[in-house]
Amino acid sequence: MRLSSKSYFGLGFKNINCIENLLELLSANGFLVQVILRGNDKNMNSCPIERPKIHPDLELMAQKKLLVIGDLVLDQYIWGDVNRISPEAPVPVVEVQKETFRLGGAANVACNIASLSGQVEVVGLVGADENGEKLISLLQEQSVTTSAVRVDNNRPTSTKTRIIAGNQQIVRIDKESTQYSVQPLHSQLLSVILEKVDTVDAVIFADYDKGVVNSELIRAVTSKTKLNRIPVTVDPKVENFWSYEGVTSITPNQKEASIAVGIRILDQKTLLKVGQKILERLDLAHLLITRGEHGMSLFEKTSEGQLKVQHIETKAQDVFDVTGAGDTVIAVFTMALSAGLTPFQAAQMANMAGGIVVTEVGCVAVDRKKLNRFWEQ
């Protein structure tokens, strides 16, 4: 059903719960909604109808504009059933039922921002192929600005194909190039980034070691953002880990932090040692290490120069798939910081958001209604 802002229509419902989602959708898209209750149903007449309230923190976050720089990934899911073993080899035969596509990598970071009603533009590369077109189309469907996405004729669009049967991943197939982009194309990316950083409230590097981000680009961007005091956050991989000196925050997982420092995190003592080394060497305002079922640890320096560490625990829940949880964490953490929340509040919200997405199969963006409900509690 296609509606204009001046459309009028009537619908009949017997239960108020049936229209909550419709009211929210129409109101959010600028439609004036008037509800007239008729009949003798006491439940209907006694229930006030109003648009669900969004927490002020989330409303502030929605007013911010972010720039995401990094490796764009297309996630392909092939869903099916397994009823027999192949006679050709001891492997299951998957009878395909459906195929779906989702956004991954930096594209998923941008999608999470858009799902929370934030304004977001993404900078990255796709190949000159059908998957590249699909990825850009999916971004645009989520209201992500893609004018800074460039086509690289020398690489395929990074694509991860997951074959799933009975909600269990059977195998993953990666099609990608990890070579750095050629110089003319890299210069184009850098030029467009430097034009845009002055127009945003925060910058995110979503670095997956696929060839978009290198030390030259990092230095150029951080030099300009420092002049304008624009916060820069990073979801790093090991390759460029120590190139992010002077950014605002980074959000490595425990494994990445351990590898970068060369110390295995076994307990609180080794965790503190790793965190302090990263915080000091990169001269960060704050460091957020994600630790899976153990939650997160936020490292900061006080005004007196003392190390301050706060731990955020996870809530007990069923975890189906951790794919993309780090994308959600960096997106929500950065949005919250840009909206004026304290680093600890931002980490708490990011922890909640990460906990929401791991309850679903595959790479998904955080649901604004669910996050709103969790945050209000």
Tokens of 251: 């959000």
- Mapped onto helix, strand or coil, the DSSP state of residue 91 is coil
Give per-residue burial for 321-341: e unless 16+ CB within 10 Å, then b: bebbbbbbbbbbbbbbbbbeb
User: Do 141 and 284 belong together in one domain?
Assistant: yes
Give the whole-angstrom CA distance, residue 48 versus residue 269.
54
Catalytic residue (choose from 174, 209, 327, 367): 327
Mean local confidence (pLDDT), 369-374: 79
Joined tokens for residue 151: 């086509």
Residue 257 confidence (pLDDT) above 60: yes
- 340 and 258 within one domain: yes
Q: Which residue has the tokens 């059908």?
A: 130
Clarify whether residues 95 and 25 are in a common domain.
no
End-to-end CA distance of the chain: 36
Dihedrals φ, ψ of 43, to 5°?
A: -65, -40
For residues 150 and 325, which has the higher predicted lDDT (pLDDT)? 150
- The DSSP symbol for 88 reads S
From CA 222, how far away is CA 300, in angstroms rounded? 20
The strand pairing partners of 68, in sequence order, are 122, 204
Contact 75, 103 (CB under 8 A): yes
Of the pLDDT bands very low, low, confident and very high (cuts 50, 70, 90), residue 2 is very low
- Pick from 9, 33, 52: which residue ends a domain? 52
- Residues 128-164: pLDDT tens digits? 999 999 999 999 999 999 999 999 999 999 999 999 9
- Checking if the pLDDT of 271 tops 90, the result is yes
Q: Does residue 16 sit in the same domain as residue 86? A: no
Task: Tell me, yes or no, whether 47 and 60 share the same domain.
Answer: no
Verify that 21 and 97 share a domain, yes or no. Answer: no
Strands 65-70 and 159-165: unpaired
Distance CA(71)–CA(109), nearest Å, equals: 10
Same domain, 328 and 253: yes
Residue range 2-26: average pLDDT?
Answer: 48
pTM of the model: 0.82
Q: How many CB atoms lie within 10 A of CB 285?
A: 16
Q: Are residues 79 and 6 in the same domain?
A: no
Q: Determine the pLDDT at residue 23.
A: 54
Domain total in the chain: 2
Asked if 206 and 105 touch (Cβ cutoff 8 Å), the reply is yes
Q: Mark whether 196 and 47 lie in a shared domain.
A: no
Active site residue 327: yes
Give the pLDDT score at 58: 83
Residue tagged 């990890």 (tokens): 178
Is the same domain home to 121 and 93?
yes
The pLDDT of residue 201 is above 90: yes
Distance CA 166, CA 28 (A): 36
**Domain region containing 71:** 56-376
Residue 77: CATH number of its domain: 3.40.1190.20
- 16 and 119 share a domain? no
Q: What are phi and psi of 329, to 5 degrees?
A: -60, -50
**Alpha-carbon separation of residue 31 from 16, 115, 253 (angstroms):** 19, 20, 42
Q: pLDDT grade, residue 362 (50/70/90)?
A: low
Do 16 and 98 belong to one domain? no
